[in-house]
Amino acid sequence: MLHRNNPVIKFLFICAAVVCFFVSCSRSSPENETANGALPAAVIMTGKVPLWFQLTEEGAVLLDTIEDAVNKTALTPWTLAPNAGLIREKEGSVYLAVNRFGFIKFTPYNDGIAIYGFPGGDLWRRYSIGGFVFHNNNPVALLYSDDRFQNSAAPLPVSRTWSFSMESNLPFTVNFRALDMFPANEGWNVDTLRSGHDGLIYFRAVNRSGTEPQIRMLRTANLSDTGNNISAEAFFNSSPVKNTVFHSSLPPLPKGFVYTGIAKIKDSLFVTWEEKAGYSIGAAGFMLVSININQ
């Protein structure tokens, strides 16, 4: 367990645990997994001093301060950069689908917060995340091949929807009838998957293999069923409104950095941040800080 009254031990333990754990998991195989289920990268205790983490293709790295992220990462189109644009809360835990990496889960653990990593390895590094939803209370992320900023030689991902459980630190692929109606081997690239403000699930499928591109926009109440075609107007109007991230406990960010998502876990705030310039992202990560005024 990590305590704020011993910052040196706290820093060394988290830094070593997070970096070594996420790197080793990304190179592991099912045979190396223990029978005890998923193992946490670290268990942390937050305080008034924020804990800053930067996301990479290998996982999360603890920073001394947010200033350590300034001018350290090249600006990259947002679909190609590690970032935590997709954040979800459920039953007291916080979930991230991290572009070019995999999943991260934060959950209460005794007096602290446990951090679990679920790296997708080389496959996730080749594709972009096009959505993050819950299906029957299980997290589901969509991988797709992005062609807006580069012409990738990688084939369309056949294993495009992924989930994880607490039985292992490795994510696994799942299949859904609604998306399987648009097979990758026939040129269909499902590039969007999200929950609408009406509680339905929306997705978009694009096929550019023919002489004329085909674009289908659909919604469904259950991914295990087929989807229903809808208009482009209905598809875009269903998108949840993004609110500005603000809380009095949030420290200021360097110039060019913005907060992108916020959640509460135990007595702490969990906030994602990015360095942004147009459609590009530089450094990106998350921050944890206590909102307990008695600390």
pLDDT digits (tens, 9 = 90+) for 20-33: 334 333 333 333 34
Q: What is the pLDDT of residue 32?
A: 38
Predicted local distance difference test score (pLDDT) of residue 292: 66
Q: Is 226 left (phi over 0), alpha (psi -120 to 50) or beta?
A: beta
C-alpha 288/C-alpha 265 separation (Å) is 9
- Does residue 164 carry a pLDDT above 70? yes
DSSP three-state, residue 73? coil
Query: How do residues 214-272 score in pLDDT, each as one tens digit?
Result: 999 999 999 999 999 999 999 999 988 777 888 888 999 999 999 999 999 999 999 99
Q: CA 176, CA 136: separation in Å to the nearest integer?
A: 12
Listed range (87-101, 108-122, 138-152) with the worst mean pLDDT: 138-152
Backbone angles phi, psi at 233, to 5 degrees: -65, -45
Mean pLDDT, rounded, for 34-40: 76
